[in-house]
Structure 1
Amino acid sequence: MNTKLYVLLAAGVLALSACKNEAADAAAADAAAATEQAADAAATAADAAGDAAAATADAAAAATTDAAAAAGDAAAAAGDAAAAATTDAAAAAGDAAAAATDAAKAATADAAGAVKEGAAKVEEAAKH
């Protein structure tokens, strides 16, 4: 996706280089800023996905530790605790995955909007 953004930015810069006026220069700067915002939004989405994955791993590790301690106390209690811990870990993993998906969707929508806005500015500048 970053490659597409850079290709769009490069195309905009090349298109604007043919027009040597202040409006075109301003539009190119706006397009570059919009592209940078889109890249930042994509990076934020990637960070959110990484954080969600780390939280899922931590939740699974904590649930496993709790299940092992319960197993040491009694076999019957361990079975119940393991089932509960597994359910909690699965729920936490599902919640984290949903949060990561939502963050990725939002960041993608933001990035797409920024790219669309940048492209519109480049197109508008090219018309003048």
Structure 2
Amino acid sequence: MRKSILVLATAFTLTAFFTSCRDTKKESDDMEMSDDMDDMDDMDDDMNDEMDEVGNDLENAADETGDAIENAANEVEAEVEGTDDM
């Protein structure tokens, strides 16, 4: 009788120990996943901001290049017509 009580007490202790460890592990996994998702959202926002900035820089460079070509064409046309101020 005494051995059966000790066996049951040991089984109960082991069951409680493994059950509590498993629940704690599950909660920490959920927290890590949530933190990782926040980091990915921040990284996605940063990448979108950088891509917008690069797009704006390219558009500005194209506009400046177009203006320079137009100015050069006007100067060449003025030179050909002989109305150049130089």
TM interval, short-chain normalised: 0.5 to 0.7
Count residues in correspondence. 56
RMSD value, Cα: 1.4
Identity of aligned residues (%): 7
- Amino acid of the structure 2 residue aligned with 1:67: E
Query: Take 1:32 and 1:43, find their aligned partners in 2: how far apart are those partners?
Result: 17
The aligned counterpart of 2:77 is none
Which of residues 26, 31, 34 is equivalent to 1:42? 34
The aligned counterpart of 2:58 is 66
Please state whether the residue corresponding to 1:74 is helix, strand or coil: helix
Q: For residues 41-99 of structure 1, what are the alpha-carbon distances to aligned partners after superposition, in whole Å with 9 as ceiling and x for unaligned?
A: 10111111011001101100100100110110126xxxxxxxxxxxxxxxxxxxxxxxx
Query: Take 1:27 and 1:45, find their aligned partners in 2: how far apart are those partners?
Result: 28
Query: Take 1:51 and 1:64, find their aligned partners in 2: how far apart are those partners?
Result: 20
The TM-score normalised by the length of structure 2 is 0.60
Larger gyration radius, structure 1 or structure 2: 2
Structure 2, unmatched stretches of 5+, are: 1-11, 68-86
Output aligned runs, 1:1-128, within 5 Å. 21-74=13-66
**Structure 1 residue runs of 4+, over 2 Å off?**
none
The TM-score normalised by the length of structure 1 is 0.41
Structure 1, unmatched stretches of 5+, are: 1-19, 76-128
How far residue 24 of structure 1 moved from its aligned partner, in angstroms, is 1.3
- Amino acid of the structure 1 residue aligned with 2:59: A
